[in-house]
Amino acid sequence: METLIVPGTLDSLGAIGQYVTRATSAAGLDKKAAYKLRLAVDEIATNIITHGYQEAGLEGKLYLYAAIDESILTIFLEDTGIIYNPKQQILPQKEELQKVLDERSMGGLGIYLALGGVDEFHYERVGNRNRNIFVMHRIMV
């Protein structure tokens, strides 16, 4: 698919969601897998925009690219913000997720949903870019 380039602001989340939905339709993913991939990309994009750009006082764009081959759909999400590896963030543990809501901290919940919703997730730093790679299997194995 064509690359989607959008400003690194929260207003871009709608366009990102639409792009991922087009990719999951083209790849023929089932409804549940399609939703989880959209959620994963949206959560990571939100973190890049808020932590990688806004809180760091930086501006930049988000670059999305979808690749479909016979067995997998891969979404590449790149940005030029500060080095930000979702896999190195602290995720909520089971005890935290079982706590009553009054005692919850919300930290890491988005990344927890993102990493738990895709078949594979990879992160690379390439030059001045962060590259997040989301993989969904097209055929049940």
Partner 1 sequence: MEITIKNLKDIKVVKLVGDVDASTAPSVQQQLVPLAELNSKILLDMTQVPYMSSAGLRMLLTLYRQTSAKDGKLVLVGLSEDLQDTMSVTGFLDFFTTGTTLEEGLAVLN
Are 77 and 13 in contact by the 8 Å Cβ rule? The answer is: no
- Least distance in Å: CB of 53 to partner 1? 13
Question: How far apart, in whole angstroms, are the C-alpha atoms of residue 75 and residue 40?
Answer: 10
C-alpha separations of 112 from 55, 78, 88, 107, 124 in Å: 21, 19, 12, 9, 19
Compute the half-sphere exposure of residue 8: CA atoms within 13 Å on the CB side of its CA. Answer: 24
Report in angstroms how near the CB of residue 126 gets to partner 1 at its nearest.
25
Answer for which of 1, 6, 7, 17 binds partner 1 (CB under 8 A) is 17
Binding mask 34-53 toward partner 1 (x if CB under 8 A, else -) reads -x--xx--xx--x--xx---
What sign has the CA pseudo-torsion 48, 54, 58, 61? positive
Our CB check for partner 1 shows the closer of 26 and 97 to be 97
Give me the least distance between CB of 1 and partner 1, in Å please. 20
Q: Are 48 and 8 in contact (CB under 8 A)?
A: yes
**Rule CB under 8 A: is residue 89 a binding residue for partner 1?**
no
When the beta carbons of 43 and 78 are compared against partner 1, the nearer one is 43
- Considering only 11-19, 67-75, 79-87, 126-134, which stretch makes contact with partner 1 by CB under 8 A? 11-19
The Cα–Cα gap between 57 and 25 comes to 36
What does the binding site for partner 1 look like in residue numbers (CB under 8 A)?
10-11, 13-14, 17, 32, 35, 38-39, 42-43, 46, 49-50, 97-102, 104, 106, 109-110, 112-113, 116
